[in-house]
């Protein structure tokens, strides 16, 4: 190749690049200004988003995540604006297409993780449970120890730490014993058929009065419910304001002890299971009757 032609070709190329640089120089300066202002504005918006989400959610991890997502989203908008100003529309299109394909692939690959993650967000916002609550989820009952974005940790009353994915927590019924600030004791008792039912009710209600932790705004109730095989059965219902499981069981224990002492003092019997033996084919025949009937037959034989 001729040196002059090579020089001319290089010179033309450099001149074209210089021309394009000078033509795009205002755009580059504007892009730099927008980029710097965009980062400062994104940081400011992140702080505002953190304050707003903190009023809704007490989960610090979720709050930081939400504010970071807002920050990244706004930075993304600023970058796309800068690329457009620099007339790099093809690059913007390629980035958007790549992001869409990547997002679709990640959604399929990590759908379980994403499901637990989204469930954790909804749990943090709706607050069906809080740390320290006594709850029953699926087959696990205990105290909520941690609420993370992916899972919830429950400390059972047996002392085990159970990690439940948030998807399972969100999609299953939750029994929250701490939400109302009180719990009810349902004590099932049976008394003998020979007792005076009105007297038994008075003795029973008086026995459980003054138990520590009883709710003053809830009345102690007692209802006879059925005629059992050996007893007349009733249910005693008491509301207690003790949220700790140990205190709740202690109130239950105190009620049982007081009722047993009151029944002993008033000669009220809690009967053992009774079985009646019937020796007749058609029923209603006792052993003595059947023996008296069969003895003469044996003597004749």
Q: What is the pLDDT of residues 6-35, one digit of tens each?
A: 666 666 666 666 666 666 667 777 778 888
pTM above 0.95, yes or no: no
pLDDT level of residue 279 (50, 70, 90 thresholds): low
- What does the block give as tokens for 126? 């709706």
Q: What is the mean pLDDT of the chain?
A: 80
Look at 108 and 141; give whichever has higher pLDDT. 141
CATH of domain 180-301: 3.30.70.100
- Whether the CB-CB separation of 128 and 144 falls below 8 Å is answered with no
Burial of 210 (0-12, 13-18, 19+ CB in 10 A): exposed
pLDDT level of residue 262 (50, 70, 90 thresholds): very high
Q: What is the dihedral of CA 163, 165, 166, 170, to 10 degrees?
A: -100
Look at 104 and 215; give whichever has higher pLDDT. 215
Residue 299, pLDDT score = 47
* CA dist., res. 169 & res. 166, Å (int): 5
* CA dist., res. 182 & res. 242, Å (int): 7
Q: Would you say residue 226 has pLDDT above 70?
A: yes
Q: Would you say residue 61 has pLDDT above 80?
A: no
* CA dist., res. 125 & res. 66, Å (int): 12
14-23, 172-181, 212-221: least confident range: 14-23
Taking alpha carbons only, the member of 102, 86, 85, 105 closest to residue 94 is: 102
Taking alpha carbons only, the member of 48, 96, 90, 101 closest to residue 70 is: 48
* CA dist., res. 106 & res. 111, Å (int): 8
38-47, 208-217, 243-252, 280-289: least confident range: 280-289
Name the class of domain 128-176.
mainly beta
Mean pLDDT (whole number) for 230-235:
92
CA distances for 9 relative to 5, 18, 21, 257, angstroms? 6, 14, 18, 106
The rounded radius of gyration (Å) of the Cα atoms in the chain is 39
Mean pLDDT (whole number) for 237-266:
89
* CA dist., res. 205 & res. 17, Å (int): 97
- What does the block give as tokens for 49? 């988003």
Q: What is the dihedral of CA 210, 211, 215, 221, to 10 degrees?
A: -80
Residue 255, pLDDT score = 94
pLDDT level of residue 65 (50, 70, 90 thresholds): confident
What are the domain boundaries of the chain?
A: 3-109, 128-176, 180-301
């Amino acid at each position: 190749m001729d040196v002059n032609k090579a020089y001319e070709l290089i010179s033309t190329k450099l001149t074209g690049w210089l021309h394009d640089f000078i033509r795009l120089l205002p755009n580059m300066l504007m892009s730099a200004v927008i980029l710097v202002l965009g980062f400062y504005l994104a940081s400011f918006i992140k702080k505002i988003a953190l304050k707003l989400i903190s009023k809704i959610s007490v989960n610090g991890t979720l709050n930081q995540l939400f504010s970071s997502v807002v920050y990244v989203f706004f930075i993304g908008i600023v970058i796309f604006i800068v690329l457009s100003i620099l007339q790099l529309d093809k690059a913007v299109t390629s980035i958007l297409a790549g992001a869409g394909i990547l997002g679709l692939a990640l959604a399929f690959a990590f759908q379980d993780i994403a499901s637990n993650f989204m469930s954790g967000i909804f749990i943090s916002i709706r607050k069906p449970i809080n740390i320290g609550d006594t709850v029953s989820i699926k087959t696990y009952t205990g105290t909520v120890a941690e609420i993370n974005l992916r899972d919830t940790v429950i400390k059972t009353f047996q002392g085990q730490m159970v990690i439940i994915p948030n998807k399972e927590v969100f999609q299953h019924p939750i029994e929250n014993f701490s939400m109302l600030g009180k719990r009810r004791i349902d004590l099932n008792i049976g008394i003998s058929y020979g007792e005076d039912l009105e007297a038994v009710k008075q003795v029973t209600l008086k026995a459980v009065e003054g138990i520590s932790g009883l709710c003053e705004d809830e009345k102690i109730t007692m209802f006879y419910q059925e005629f059992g095989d050996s007893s007349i059965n009733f249910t005693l219902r008491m509301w207690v304001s003790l949220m700790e499981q140990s205190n709740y069981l202690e109130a239950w224990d105190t009620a049982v002890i007081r009722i047993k002492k009151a029944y002993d003092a008033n000669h009220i019997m809690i009967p053992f299971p009774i079985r009646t033996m019937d020796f007749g084919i058609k029923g209603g025949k006792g052993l003595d009757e059947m023996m008296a009937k069969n003895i003469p037959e044996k003597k004749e034989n």
